[in-house]
Structure 1
Amino acid sequence: MKSKEHFQFSNGVVLYPIFFVLLIWVVFWVEIRFGIDFTKFGIYPQTITGLRGIFFSPFIHSGISHLYHNTIPLFVLTAALFYFYKPIAWKVILYGILVSGLITWSIGRPSYHIGASGLIYVLVSFTFFKGILAKYYRLIALSLLIVFLYGSMIWYVFPIVDGVSWEGHTAGLITGFLFALIFKKEIAKPKKYAWEEETFNEADDPFLKHFDEHGNFIEFPETNMEVDTPTEPLEENRPTIHYTFKPNKDTE
């Protein structure tokens, strides 16, 4: 993957997050406008019908407060994902919903688990661990920013608040970490300048290639210079070789 595919602003960086956020708000509006309760379409663990919630639960919320608290982090994290990890952004989102949903379905309590917080934890976890593994200053800075903004979310992977799906949060945290490992090669690499990529090859040096391994002069063709060899014998494996040159008489 080419590093130039990363860190490029495009319309999708803004439009995709806006579309995602608008979609969950539209679903909530439909519930309020027509008096429909979509909660039964959430994840209900260890049941066949509960499997459908893996796909539907991120778009269903219990109330305006639940929806509001998920909207801002979902927009920010999705925008960061499409900017810094554009080539794999959709994979992280779609597979993140699927895998975190399956884990929640496997370990969750017998209750309906709804909301986009599971996906949010996927994005937080992925962005943080990915930046650390990348060892690239921009991504590390992003990881530190994520810790600053959403570091307190770590407490909600434990059952400390009634009515909060800590199972979904834990599933998202695990999924994001696994994705950071799975997509380990899909990272932006720091730009290398020409001088960093150049390596010295002694065999290509136009001067050194005319001396043998002991520093003895072999030949110096196609030149108007003659060589004065040193009066003292060269030591074997001597690190530097000093020669003096005098103009050839033909060129004076």
Structure 2
Amino acid sequence: MSREDKAAIARELKTQAIILGGFVAIFWILEIADLAFFRGRLNLYGIAPRTTIGLRGILFAPFLHANLPHVVANTVPFLVLGWLIMLREISDFFIVTAASMLVGGLGVWLFGAPNSIHIGASGVIFGYLGFLLLRGFFERSAIAVILSLIVCFFYGGVLWGVLPSRVGISWEGHLFGLIGGVIAARILAKSKQRSPG
């Protein structure tokens, strides 16, 4: 491997770390600020199903968390799955994130329980999971299939989170976030099949 190749890889890894670290920093800064200064009031910016004001939560909810354990639980899978999406192209990460936020958020807004507020990055994380699990199916490339199998082995068990299980857990966010990731996998696979080379 040439010095130029090593430098290019180092630059790519640095860019990936800055992007992922930036997202996680926002999660933590907002949660600490909410605990220290706002007494949980920032969570009101989450998704409130079938209310006009609740639509703003589609944008804000993934960055808000109920407490520090909630942020901790979302940080590691966000970093791991987000980085796996970035491995091929950084732009894939932004497309999958946007699709998961939009489809997941709209699904929660339409079908979430009345008088509830949905927050947390787990819907986006389930979107990453859906993308990585189905990318191999849609692309039919050996690398994508192997990556899908690895992700299924390590994270497949969390798929039960798309079913109603515990009070206070937004299974709707998990389910529709997952669907958003699957849609992104399909769209990106088709665009790459059309691309030359």
TM-score where L is the length of structure 1:
0.68
CA distance in 1, matches of 2:72, 2:132: 22
Task: Tell me the equivalent position of 1:114.
Answer: 119
CA distance in 1, matches of 2:188, 2:129: 15
Indicate whether 1:101 and 2:105 are aligned: yes
Cα shift at 1:170: 0.6
CA distance in 1, matches of 2:167, 2:190: 40
Aligned Cα RMSD in Å? 1.9
Aligned pair partner of 2:83 in 75, 79, 85: 79
Task: Tell me the equivalent position of 1:54.
Answer: 58
Gaps of 5+ in 2: 1-7
Closer/same/farther in 2, CA of residues 188 and 82 from structure 1, 3 Å limit: farther
Q: Relative contact order, CA 8 A, sep 6+: which one is greater? A: 2
CA distance in 2, matches of 1:131, 1:187: 13
Q: State percent identity of aligned pairs.
A: 34
Gaps of 5+ in 1: 1-7, 193-252
Indicate whether 1:22 and 2:25 are aligned: yes
Aligned pair partner of 2:74 in 50, 70, 75: 70
Cα shift at 1:131: 1.9
Aligned pair partner of 1:141 in 114, 138, 146: 146
CA distance in 1, matches of 2:98, 2:182: 15
Cα shift at 1:188: 8.1
Amino acid in structure 2 at the alignment position of 1:164: I
Confirm or deny: 8 A CA contact 2:61 2:119 kept in the other structure.
yes
CA distance in 2, matches of 1:151, 1:181: 19
Cα shift at 1:35: 3.6
Cα shift at 1:44: 0.5
Greater helix percent: which structure?
A: 2
Cα shift at 1:132: 2.2
- Segments ≥4 residues shifted beyond 6 Å: none
Is 81-90 or 70-79 further displaced after alignment? 81-90
Task: Tell me the equivalent position of 1:195.
Answer: none
Classify the secondary structure of the residue corresponding to 1:84: coil
Indicate whether 1:124 and 2:129 are aligned: yes
Indicate whether 1:31 and 2:62 are aligned: no
* Bigger radius of gyration among the two: 1
